[in-house]
Protein backbone atom coordinates (compact mmCIF):
# COMPACT_ATOMS: atom_id res chain seq x y z
CA UNK A 1 0.00 0.00 0.00
CA UNK A 2 1.36 3.43 -0.98
CA UNK A 3 1.81 6.22 1.55
CA UNK A 4 -0.67 9.09 1.13
CA UNK A 5 -0.94 12.40 2.96
CA UNK A 6 -4.05 12.31 5.13
CA UNK A 7 -6.04 15.47 5.90
CA UNK A 8 -8.79 15.37 8.54
CA UNK A 9 -11.28 18.00 9.69
CA UNK A 10 -14.00 17.40 12.30
CA UNK A 11 -17.40 18.98 12.97
CA UNK A 12 -18.88 18.38 16.41
CA UNK A 13 -22.47 19.10 17.43
CA UNK A 14 -22.77 19.43 21.18
CA UNK A 15 -26.03 19.84 23.13
CA UNK A 16 -25.80 22.56 25.76
CA UNK A 17 -26.65 21.85 29.41
CA UNK A 18 -29.69 24.11 29.70
CA UNK A 19 -33.06 23.45 31.35
CA UNK A 20 -35.04 24.85 28.41
CA UNK A 21 -34.79 24.96 24.60
CA UNK A 22 -32.79 27.43 22.49
CA UNK A 23 -35.76 29.58 21.48
CA UNK A 24 -38.66 28.35 23.66
CA UNK A 25 -39.52 27.60 27.27
CA UNK A 26 -40.06 23.87 26.67
CA UNK A 27 -37.89 21.62 28.88
CA UNK A 28 -34.81 19.81 27.57
CA UNK A 29 -34.58 16.24 28.79
CA UNK A 30 -33.43 12.84 27.61
CA UNK A 31 -35.47 9.66 27.75
CA UNK A 32 -38.89 11.25 28.40
CA UNK A 33 -42.07 9.99 26.72
CA UNK A 34 -42.03 11.02 23.05
CA UNK A 35 -43.47 14.46 22.25
CA UNK A 36 -44.03 15.50 25.88
CA UNK A 37 -41.18 18.08 26.08
CA UNK A 38 -42.35 20.29 23.26
CA UNK A 39 -44.44 23.42 22.66
CA UNK A 40 -45.87 25.55 19.83
CA UNK A 41 -42.56 27.30 19.10
CA UNK A 42 -40.65 23.99 18.71
CA UNK A 43 -43.37 22.71 16.35
CA UNK A 44 -43.27 25.86 14.20
CA UNK A 45 -46.91 26.83 14.70
CA UNK A 46 -47.98 29.98 12.78
CA UNK A 47 -47.60 33.22 14.72
CA UNK A 48 -45.06 31.90 17.23
CA UNK A 49 -41.83 33.84 17.79
CA UNK A 50 -38.44 32.67 19.09
CA UNK A 51 -36.82 34.09 22.25
CA UNK A 52 -33.07 33.55 22.75
CA UNK A 53 -32.01 31.41 25.76
CA UNK A 54 -29.62 33.58 27.81
CA UNK A 55 -28.04 30.56 29.56
CA UNK A 56 -27.27 28.93 26.18
CA UNK A 57 -25.36 32.08 25.13
CA UNK A 58 -23.46 31.97 28.45
CA UNK A 59 -22.46 28.32 27.87
CA UNK A 60 -21.37 29.10 24.30
CA UNK A 61 -19.13 31.90 25.66
CA UNK A 62 -17.59 29.40 28.12
CA UNK A 63 -16.88 26.95 25.29
CA UNK A 64 -15.31 29.71 23.16
CA UNK A 65 -13.13 30.82 26.09
CA UNK A 66 -11.93 27.26 26.82
CA UNK A 67 -10.94 26.91 23.16
CA UNK A 68 -9.14 30.28 22.95
CA UNK A 69 -11.63 31.70 20.41
CA UNK A 70 -12.21 35.37 19.63
CA UNK A 71 -15.77 36.14 20.80
CA UNK A 72 -18.16 38.27 18.74
CA UNK A 73 -20.10 40.39 21.27
CA UNK A 74 -22.88 41.07 18.73
CA UNK A 75 -25.12 37.99 18.57
CA UNK A 76 -26.74 37.50 15.17
CA UNK A 77 -28.75 34.55 13.86
CA UNK A 78 -29.48 33.31 10.34
CA UNK A 79 -32.12 31.12 8.78
CA UNK A 80 -31.05 27.90 7.06
CA UNK A 81 -33.86 26.80 4.73
CA UNK A 82 -34.48 23.18 3.85
CA UNK A 83 -37.39 20.77 4.05
CA UNK A 84 -37.02 17.58 6.03
CA UNK A 85 -39.54 15.69 8.15
CA UNK A 86 -37.56 16.25 11.39
CA UNK A 87 -37.57 20.05 10.86
CA UNK A 88 -41.13 21.25 11.51
CA UNK A 89 -40.56 24.92 10.62
CA UNK A 90 -38.95 24.10 7.27
CA UNK A 91 -35.87 26.03 8.42
CA UNK A 92 -33.26 25.94 11.20
CA UNK A 93 -32.08 29.00 13.15
CA UNK A 94 -28.28 29.02 13.17
CA UNK A 95 -25.27 31.40 12.93
CA UNK A 96 -23.97 30.97 9.40
CA UNK A 97 -22.44 34.41 8.83
CA UNK A 98 -21.48 35.61 12.32
CA UNK A 99 -20.44 32.74 14.63
CA UNK A 100 -20.12 33.61 18.32
CA UNK A 101 -16.49 32.36 18.32
CA UNK A 102 -13.72 31.92 15.75
CA UNK A 103 -9.96 31.38 15.31
CA UNK A 104 -9.34 29.26 18.40
CA UNK A 105 -7.41 26.06 19.16
CA UNK A 106 -7.08 23.09 21.48
CA UNK A 107 -3.88 21.27 22.37
CA UNK A 108 -3.84 17.49 22.00
CA UNK A 109 -1.35 14.90 23.20
CA UNK A 110 -0.60 11.87 20.99
CA UNK A 111 2.05 9.44 22.24
CA UNK A 112 3.66 12.15 24.37
CA UNK A 113 3.78 14.72 21.55
CA UNK A 114 1.73 17.88 21.95
CA UNK A 115 0.07 19.56 18.97
CA UNK A 116 -2.32 22.47 18.48
CA UNK A 117 -5.46 21.83 16.42
CA UNK A 118 -7.10 24.97 15.08
CA UNK A 119 -10.79 25.74 15.69
CA UNK A 120 -12.22 27.61 12.71
CA UNK A 121 -15.53 28.57 14.35
CA UNK A 122 -18.06 27.84 17.09
CA UNK A 123 -21.66 28.77 16.38
CA UNK A 124 -25.02 28.37 18.15
CA UNK A 125 -28.06 26.72 16.62
CA UNK A 126 -31.11 24.58 17.44
CA UNK A 127 -31.32 20.80 17.15
CA UNK A 128 -33.80 18.93 14.95
CA UNK A 129 -36.36 16.33 16.00
CA UNK A 130 -35.41 12.64 16.10
CA UNK A 131 -36.67 10.06 13.61
CA UNK A 132 -37.29 6.36 14.17
CA UNK A 133 -37.60 4.22 11.03
CA UNK A 134 -39.73 1.10 11.51
CA UNK A 135 -41.51 -1.41 9.27
CA UNK A 136 -44.80 0.39 9.90
CA UNK A 137 -43.42 3.83 8.96
CA UNK A 138 -41.26 6.67 10.24
CA UNK A 139 -42.05 8.05 13.69
CA UNK A 140 -40.91 11.47 14.88
CA UNK A 141 -40.14 12.54 18.46
CA UNK A 142 -40.07 16.33 18.73
CA UNK A 143 -38.63 16.34 22.29
CA UNK A 144 -35.17 17.09 20.86
CA UNK A 145 -36.41 19.79 18.43
CA UNK A 146 -35.07 23.18 19.48
CA UNK A 147 -32.50 21.85 21.98
CA UNK A 148 -29.59 24.35 22.15
CA UNK A 149 -26.46 23.26 20.27
CA UNK A 150 -23.03 24.56 19.55
CA UNK A 151 -21.26 23.35 16.43
CA UNK A 152 -17.46 23.27 16.71
CA UNK A 153 -15.70 23.23 13.35
CA UNK A 154 -12.00 22.34 13.36
CA UNK A 155 -9.41 23.34 10.80
CA UNK A 156 -8.05 20.44 8.69
CA UNK A 157 -5.05 20.09 11.02
CA UNK A 158 -5.27 16.37 11.83
CA UNK A 159 -3.38 13.74 9.83
CA UNK A 160 -4.04 10.38 11.51
CA UNK A 161 -6.78 8.36 13.20
CA UNK A 162 -5.00 8.77 16.57
CA UNK A 163 -4.96 12.56 16.23
CA UNK A 164 -8.67 12.62 15.33
CA UNK A 165 -9.55 10.51 18.38
CA UNK A 166 -7.32 12.63 20.67
CA UNK A 167 -8.97 15.83 19.39
CA UNK A 168 -12.52 14.56 20.06
CA UNK A 169 -11.46 13.22 23.49
CA UNK A 170 -9.82 16.55 24.44
CA UNK A 171 -12.90 18.54 23.39
CA UNK A 172 -15.19 16.15 25.22
CA UNK A 173 -13.24 16.45 28.49
CA UNK A 174 -12.99 20.24 28.23
CA UNK A 175 -16.73 20.70 27.61
CA UNK A 176 -17.59 18.33 30.47
CA UNK A 177 -15.21 20.00 32.94
CA UNK A 178 -16.64 23.48 32.33
CA UNK A 179 -20.24 22.18 32.61
CA UNK A 180 -21.20 23.21 29.08
CA UNK A 181 -22.60 19.76 28.20
CA UNK A 182 -22.91 16.24 29.62
CA UNK A 183 -21.19 15.10 26.34
CA UNK A 184 -22.84 11.66 26.44
CA UNK A 185 -22.03 10.46 22.93
CA UNK A 186 -24.11 7.31 23.42
CA UNK A 187 -27.18 9.51 24.10
CA UNK A 188 -26.48 11.83 21.17
CA UNK A 189 -25.64 14.92 23.22
CA UNK A 190 -22.30 15.05 21.39
CA UNK A 191 -22.26 13.99 17.74
CA UNK A 192 -19.24 13.83 15.52
CA UNK A 193 -18.83 14.12 11.72
CA UNK A 194 -15.36 13.55 10.26
CA UNK A 195 -14.10 14.73 6.85
CA UNK A 196 -11.17 12.79 5.37
CA UNK A 197 -9.18 13.21 2.18
CA UNK A 198 -6.03 11.52 0.88
CA UNK A 199 -3.51 13.03 -1.53
CA UNK A 200 -0.05 12.16 -2.86
CA UNK A 201 1.56 15.14 -1.08
CA UNK A 202 0.97 18.00 1.39
CA UNK A 203 0.46 20.60 -1.32
CA UNK A 204 -2.72 19.14 -2.84
CA UNK A 205 -6.03 18.13 -1.27
CA UNK A 206 -7.79 14.93 -2.26
CA UNK A 207 -11.53 14.35 -2.64
CA UNK A 208 -13.30 14.79 0.69
CA UNK A 209 -15.41 11.99 2.18
CA UNK A 210 -17.60 12.63 5.24
CA UNK A 211 -18.31 10.02 7.92
CA UNK A 212 -21.50 10.90 9.84
CA UNK A 213 -22.65 10.48 13.44
CA UNK A 214 -19.76 8.71 15.16
CA UNK A 215 -20.90 7.93 18.69
CA UNK A 216 -17.73 7.08 20.65
CA UNK A 217 -14.04 8.05 20.80
CA UNK A 218 -13.08 4.47 19.91
CA UNK A 219 -15.33 4.55 16.84
CA UNK A 220 -13.81 7.85 15.69
CA UNK A 221 -10.37 6.18 15.60
CA UNK A 222 -11.66 2.95 14.02
CA UNK A 223 -13.78 4.73 11.39
CA UNK A 224 -11.00 7.11 10.35
CA UNK A 225 -8.48 4.26 10.07
CA UNK A 226 -10.94 2.15 8.06
CA UNK A 227 -11.65 5.05 5.68
CA UNK A 228 -7.93 5.79 5.22
CA UNK A 229 -7.40 2.13 4.27
CA UNK A 230 -10.42 2.14 1.92
CA UNK A 231 -9.32 5.31 0.10
CA UNK A 232 -5.69 4.09 -0.06
CA UNK A 233 -6.79 0.85 -1.72
CA UNK A 234 -8.84 2.78 -4.32
CA UNK A 235 -5.93 5.12 -5.15
CA UNK A 236 -3.49 2.20 -5.30
CA UNK A 237 -5.77 0.55 -7.88
CA UNK A 238 -5.80 3.73 -9.97
CA UNK A 239 -9.45 4.46 -9.14
CA UNK A 240 -10.96 7.77 -8.06
CA UNK A 241 -12.36 8.55 -4.62
CA UNK A 242 -15.91 9.90 -4.98
CA UNK A 243 -17.21 12.70 -2.77
CA UNK A 244 -19.78 11.05 -0.54
CA UNK A 245 -21.31 10.72 2.91
CA UNK A 246 -20.63 7.43 4.66
CA UNK A 247 -21.27 5.83 8.05
CA UNK A 248 -19.17 3.44 10.12
CA UNK A 249 -20.41 -0.15 10.36
CA UNK A 250 -19.03 -1.66 13.58
CA UNK A 251 -19.86 -5.25 12.59
CA UNK A 252 -18.09 -5.01 9.22
CA UNK A 253 -15.38 -2.68 10.59
CA UNK A 254 -15.63 -0.51 7.49
CA UNK A 255 -17.43 2.61 6.25
CA UNK A 256 -20.65 2.16 4.27
CA UNK A 257 -22.07 4.51 1.61
CA UNK A 258 -25.08 6.59 2.68
CA UNK A 259 -25.33 9.01 -0.25
CA UNK A 260 -23.15 10.51 -2.97
CA UNK A 261 -22.57 14.25 -3.03
CA UNK A 262 -22.79 16.27 -6.21
CA UNK A 263 -21.83 19.81 -5.23
CA UNK A 264 -23.11 21.88 -2.30
CA UNK A 265 -26.76 22.23 -1.28
CA UNK A 266 -28.09 25.81 -1.50
CA UNK A 267 -29.71 26.49 1.87
CA UNK A 268 -30.69 30.07 0.87
CA UNK A 269 -29.35 31.56 4.09
CA UNK A 270 -30.58 34.99 5.16
CA UNK A 271 -30.61 36.93 8.47
CA UNK A 272 -33.24 35.58 10.90
CA UNK A 273 -35.95 38.30 10.76
CA UNK A 274 -37.56 37.41 14.11
CA UNK A 275 -34.42 37.87 16.24
CA UNK A 276 -32.83 41.33 16.28
CA UNK A 277 -29.03 41.49 16.81
CA UNK A 278 -28.17 41.37 20.53
CA UNK A 279 -25.24 43.44 21.83
CA UNK A 280 -23.66 41.63 24.79
CA UNK A 281 -22.41 43.62 27.77
CA UNK A 282 -18.56 43.34 27.88
CA UNK A 283 -18.71 43.11 31.70
CA UNK A 284 -21.09 40.14 31.46
CA UNK A 285 -18.72 38.34 29.08
CA UNK A 286 -15.72 39.14 31.33
CA UNK A 287 -17.56 37.84 34.41
CA UNK A 288 -18.31 34.52 32.64
CA UNK A 289 -14.66 34.19 31.56
CA UNK A 290 -13.26 35.13 34.98
CA UNK A 291 -15.37 32.42 36.63
CA UNK A 292 -14.60 29.64 34.16
CA UNK A 293 -14.08 26.26 35.80
CA UNK A 294 -10.62 24.67 35.84
CA UNK A 295 -9.80 22.84 32.61
CA UNK A 296 -8.43 19.24 32.64
CA UNK A 297 -4.90 20.21 31.53
CA UNK A 298 -4.65 22.91 34.22
CA UNK A 299 -5.89 20.44 36.83
CA UNK A 300 -3.30 17.84 35.78
CA UNK A 301 -0.52 20.41 36.12
CA UNK A 302 -1.84 21.52 39.53
CA UNK A 303 -2.08 17.91 40.79
CA UNK A 304 1.57 17.38 39.83
CA UNK A 305 2.63 20.62 41.53
CA UNK A 306 0.46 20.56 44.69
CA UNK A 307 0.31 16.82 45.39
CA UNK A 308 3.58 15.59 43.83
CA UNK A 309 1.84 13.18 41.45
CA UNK A 310 3.49 11.81 38.34
CA UNK A 311 1.98 12.55 34.93
CA UNK A 312 0.36 9.12 34.59
CA UNK A 313 -1.46 9.22 37.96
CA UNK A 314 -2.59 12.81 37.37
CA UNK A 315 -3.94 11.95 33.91
CA UNK A 316 -5.84 8.87 35.18
CA UNK A 317 -7.47 10.90 37.95
CA UNK A 318 -8.37 13.87 35.73
CA UNK A 319 -9.88 11.60 33.05
CA UNK A 320 -12.80 11.03 35.49
CA UNK A 321 -13.89 14.32 37.07
CA UNK A 322 -15.76 12.64 39.95
CA UNK A 323 -12.66 10.54 40.73
CA UNK A 324 -10.45 13.63 40.65
CA UNK A 325 -12.88 15.51 42.94
CA UNK A 326 -12.88 12.62 45.43
CA UNK A 327 -9.08 12.32 45.38
CA UNK A 328 -8.73 16.03 46.06
CA UNK A 329 -11.02 15.82 49.12
CA UNK A 330 -8.87 12.97 50.49
CA UNK A 331 -5.56 14.67 49.59
CA UNK A 332 -6.51 17.80 51.55
CA UNK A 333 -6.90 15.67 54.71
CA UNK A 334 -3.61 13.73 54.59
CA UNK A 335 0.05 14.44 53.82
CA UNK A 336 0.30 11.03 52.12
CA UNK A 337 -1.00 12.39 48.78
CA UNK A 338 0.77 9.83 46.57
CA UNK A 339 -0.69 6.98 48.66
CA UNK A 340 -4.09 8.70 48.38
CA UNK A 341 -3.77 8.66 44.59
CA UNK A 342 -2.79 4.97 44.64
CA UNK A 343 -5.80 4.12 46.80
CA UNK A 344 -8.28 6.07 44.67
CA UNK A 345 -6.91 4.76 41.34
CA UNK A 346 -6.33 1.22 42.59
CA UNK A 347 -8.35 -0.36 45.42
CA UNK A 348 -11.26 2.06 45.41
CA UNK A 349 -11.75 2.04 41.62
CA UNK A 350 -11.53 -1.77 41.56
CA UNK A 351 -14.18 -2.04 44.30
CA UNK A 352 -16.49 0.41 42.50
CA UNK A 353 -16.14 -1.45 39.20
CA UNK A 354 -16.81 -4.78 40.90
CA UNK A 355 -19.97 -3.38 42.51
CA UNK A 356 -21.15 -1.37 39.47
CA UNK A 357 -20.86 1.93 41.35
CA UNK A 358 -19.17 5.25 40.61
CA UNK A 359 -17.32 7.92 42.60
CA UNK A 360 -20.46 10.10 42.33
CA UNK A 361 -22.45 7.51 44.29
CA UNK A 362 -19.68 6.50 46.73
CA UNK A 363 -20.90 6.81 50.34
CA UNK A 364 -17.49 6.48 52.00
CA UNK A 365 -16.47 9.76 53.65
CA UNK A 366 -13.15 11.08 52.23
CA UNK A 367 -12.07 11.82 55.81
CA UNK A 368 -12.34 8.09 56.66
CA UNK A 369 -10.11 7.19 53.70
CA UNK A 370 -7.56 9.84 54.75
CA UNK A 371 -7.50 8.38 58.30
CA UNK A 372 -7.09 4.86 56.91
CA UNK A 373 -4.14 5.96 54.73
CA UNK A 374 -2.51 7.65 57.75
CA UNK A 375 -2.90 4.50 59.87
CA UNK A 376 -1.15 2.42 57.18
CA UNK A 377 1.57 5.08 56.73
CA UNK A 378 2.29 5.08 60.52
CA UNK A 379 2.45 1.27 60.53
CA UNK A 380 -0.50 0.94 62.96
CA UNK A 381 -2.05 -1.45 60.46
CA UNK A 382 -0.61 -3.17 57.40
CA UNK A 383 -1.60 -2.48 53.79
CA UNK A 384 -3.35 -5.85 53.70
CA UNK A 385 -5.32 -5.03 56.85
CA UNK A 386 -6.18 -1.65 55.31
CA UNK A 387 -7.89 -3.40 52.40
CA UNK A 388 -9.97 -5.47 54.84
CA UNK A 389 -10.98 -2.27 56.70
CA UNK A 390 -11.90 -0.61 53.40
CA UNK A 391 -14.05 -3.57 52.33
CA UNK A 392 -15.95 -3.26 55.63
Q: Looking at the structure, do residues 265 and 116 belong to the same domain, yes or no?
A: yes
Q: Looking at the structure, do residues 203 and 339 belong to the same domain, yes or no?
A: no
Return the pLDDT at 295.
Answer: 95
Q: Looking at the structure, do residues 71 and 149 belong to the same domain, yes or no?
A: yes
Instruction: Give how far Cα 146 sits from Cα of 16, 49, 99, 176, Å.
Output: 11, 13, 18, 21
What is the residue range of 360's domain?
A: 294-391
Q: Looking at the structure, do residues 357 and 241 belong to the same domain, yes or no?
A: no
Q: Looking at the structure, do residues 265 and 338 belong to the same domain, yes or no?
A: no
Return the pLDDT at 344.
Answer: 95
Return the pLDDT at 186.
Answer: 85
**H helix runs in the chain, sequence order:** 54-66, 161-177, 217-236, 282-290, 296-307, 311-319, 321-331, 337-343, 349-354, 366-378, 383-391
Q: How many domains does the chain have?
A: 2
Q: Looking at the structure, do residues 240 and 352 belong to the same domain, yes or no?
A: no
Give every residue of the chain whose pLDDT is below 70, as ranges.
1-2, 262-263
Q: Looking at the structure, do residues 357 and 323 belong to the same domain, yes or no?
A: yes
Ramachandran assignment for 343, one of left (phi > 0), alpha (psi -120 to 50 degrees), beta (any other): alpha
Q: Looking at the structure, do residues 359 and 283 belong to the same domain, yes or no?
A: no
Q: Looking at the structure, do residues 183 and 49 belong to the same domain, yes or no?
A: yes
Return the pLDDT at 2.
Answer: 67
Say what the pTM is.
0.91
Q: Identify the domain boundary among 289, 304, 338.
A: 289
Q: Looking at the structure, do residues 171 and 237 belong to the same domain, yes or no?
A: yes
Q: Identify the domain boundary among 289, 313, 347.
A: 289
Q: Looking at the structure, do residues 71 and 111 belong to the same domain, yes or no?
A: yes
Q: Identify the domain boundary among 254, 289, 324.
A: 289
Q: Looking at the structure, do residues 178 and 240 belong to the same domain, yes or no?
A: yes
Amino acid sequence: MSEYFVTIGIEIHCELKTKTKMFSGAPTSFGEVANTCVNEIDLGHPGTLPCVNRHAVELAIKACTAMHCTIDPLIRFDRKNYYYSDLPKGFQITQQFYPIGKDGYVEIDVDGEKKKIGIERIHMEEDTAKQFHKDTGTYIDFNRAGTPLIEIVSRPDMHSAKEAAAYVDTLRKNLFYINVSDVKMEEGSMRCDVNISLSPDKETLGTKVEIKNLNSIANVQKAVQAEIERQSALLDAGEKVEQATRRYDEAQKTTVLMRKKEGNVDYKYFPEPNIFPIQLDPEWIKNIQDNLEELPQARMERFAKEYGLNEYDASVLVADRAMADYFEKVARLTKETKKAANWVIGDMSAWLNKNAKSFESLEVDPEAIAQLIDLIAKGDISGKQGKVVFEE
